[in-house]
C-alpha cells in the first residue's frame, strides 16, 4: 500500500492531519513528520527521511508539505534516500484535504500515481456551494 507522510512546521498540525486522514481511511499508513526534535516550530530533513522509511512498504510514499522550508526539507530527505530504492514523491496538494484524499485512495490499494493524483485534485475542491 502507498504510504503517506505529512510534513509540517508544527508537530501538532502534522499529527492532527494524520489523525483526521487516518479516521477516514483506517488502513492507510500515515506518518506525521512535524516540528523539530525539541518540540519547536520548524522542519527537519532527517526526521522526514525517517518518516518516509517508516511509511514505505515497497509501494511508494506520497509526501504532503505545508509550505516553504517544509518542501525544501522534504526534497533534502529525498536526496538522502536517493540510493535506497524507495519511491517517494512530493504531492502539490493542500495538507489536510490532500491527506484525506490520499489516505482514502491509498486504502483501496491504488498505486502511488493515483494517490498523488487524488491528493492534488483536492486543490480544486470548493468549500462553497
Spot the catalytic one: 9, 11, 47, 49.
9
106 catalytic per annotation: no
Residues 6+ apart with CB under 8 A from 8: 14, 17, 32, 33, 34, 35, 43, 65, 66, 70, 95
Catalytic residues: 9
Amino acid at each position: 500500500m502507498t504510504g503517506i507522510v505529512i510534513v509540517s512546521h508544527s508537530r501538532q498540525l502534522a499529527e492532527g492531519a494524520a489523525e483526521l486522514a487516518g479516521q477516514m481511511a483506517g488502513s492507510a499508513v500515515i506518518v506525521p513528520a512535524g516540528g523539530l526534535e525539541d518540540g519547536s516550530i520548524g522542519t527537519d530533513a532527517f526526521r522526514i527521511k525517517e518518516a518516509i522509511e517508516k511509511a514505505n512498504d515497497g509501494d511508494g510514499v506520497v509526501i504532503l508539505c505545508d509550505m516553504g522550508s517544509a518542501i525544501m526539507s522534504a526534497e533534502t530527505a529525498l536526496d538522502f534516500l536517493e540510493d535506497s530504492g524507495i519511491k517517494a514523491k512530493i504531492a502539490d496538494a493542500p495538507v489536510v484535504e490532500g491527506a484525506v484524499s490520499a489516505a482514502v485512495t491509498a486504502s483501496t490499494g491504488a498505486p502511488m500515481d493515483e494517490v498523488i493524483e487524488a491528493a492534488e485534485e483536492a486543490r480544486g475542491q470548493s468549500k462553497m456551494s
